[in-house]
Structure 1
Amino acid sequence: VSRFQNQNMQWDGNNTLHDNWGNAPTGVQPLNLQVSLKLAADSIRVYPLDAIGAARDSFTIKPESDGRFKVTIDQNELETLWFGIRSFPATVAAPTIEFENLKIYPNPAQTLLNISGDLVDCDITLRNLLGQAIRKYTRVNSSLTVEVTDLTKGLYFVEISDLSGAKRSLRSFIKT
């Protein structure tokens, strides 16, 4: 069920009546969901969401001994069909130093993306929205021009790190 399909829903605590899916109303019964998640996290927080996506009271779940999170969601008891889940990192990373004078332009980019700044022996990785590396450049000094014509339109990330890992920057750009 999409957020658009959620419009005009009527919830009575036991079931939902949709009056926007064709001519006749459509009923949806609440579920009792049990999910097992394997995440590298100290805890997760489950947020019941109201009809417009705003978070209501949340509850926190700690991992079982095997590192899996056992999540039970009772849509009838919580009186909603929508939930968000957020994980909290297992470790706190040491602070990193950003690169000075870092410039990524033009943004949005259509054909070329320029990356410049105080870069000395840096690794630069372009990542998609899923965090997957789509391009990698090693030992970059001073600046880099990247051809982006073949990328599909959307949001991308530029990750820059020095060889020691002491400096790291993450920026985004839009491919048009």
Structure 2
Amino acid sequence: MFDFTDLTPFESRTIKLEFNVFMPPTVNSDDVLVFTSEILPVNSDITPEDNSYTLEQIVVNSYDPNDKRVLQGSTIFEEEKGNYLDYIIRFQNTGTASAINVRIEDVLDAKLDWKTLQPLASSHDYTVEVTNENKVAFIYDNINLLAQSDDEELSQGYIAFRIKPKNDVVVGDIIEGEAAIYFDFNAPIITNMVSTEIVAPLSINQFHKQSVRLFPNPAQNVLEVVSNQIIDQLTIVDINGRVLKAIELSNLEYIVDVSSLTKGVYFLEIKSGTNKTVRRFIKS
């Protein structure tokens, strides 16, 4: 418990907490750690709904730093096939010396439309090559990526991009993909395989294309979310796939405070019952 006095309007204060996590088998990879905080009292607060906060963090392991993720998850509804799929590839130099050049190769699934490929953000400067209409290479020349043993943070990088499925995909189609990461002249590190299946609607209440609106986008201080269905949870995920904020609610609209986020690209996961959609927004 922490006490504050004389907190003026629009003033912000920070409490930094660090926790030690139990080793396996008590805590394992992919476990979800849930942290909850609450501000009291709320008697004179005109917006008491933002006085509680729940953070969910997924446990990751340090020995598998090179991976690929799809933000939309393992399934999308058939009517969402015209929307983008958002991918993040993370890489880390686990060698013993700096990597002068890094090259990421991703052979696109035949069910993806390579003409809709859009790079979104990256940790370092890069160029893109597309050959044979399905082989994408993200090239980091002279990146000089430090080794993990020299600097944990500066040994890491990422590339985020989005792409649409082809118009002729049908229910039951599975879009798969993995990436090969080359550090200089070493053999490639192959990431995990991600997959997204096109599924039929479970009910008439699933999110439709225009059922959720975000504005303003780009957002500077606040992002307003408006839906025609009750929103149960909002989750902000950064470009590295880390959960930054999870908000439990039961509203058709909500104003999210994004003022503390650094400038860049983020993803907002919106849940309503068993249905989910992911939208991209930019913090300016």
Q: TM-score, normalised by structure 1?
A: 0.50
Q: TM-score, normalised by structure 2?
A: 0.33
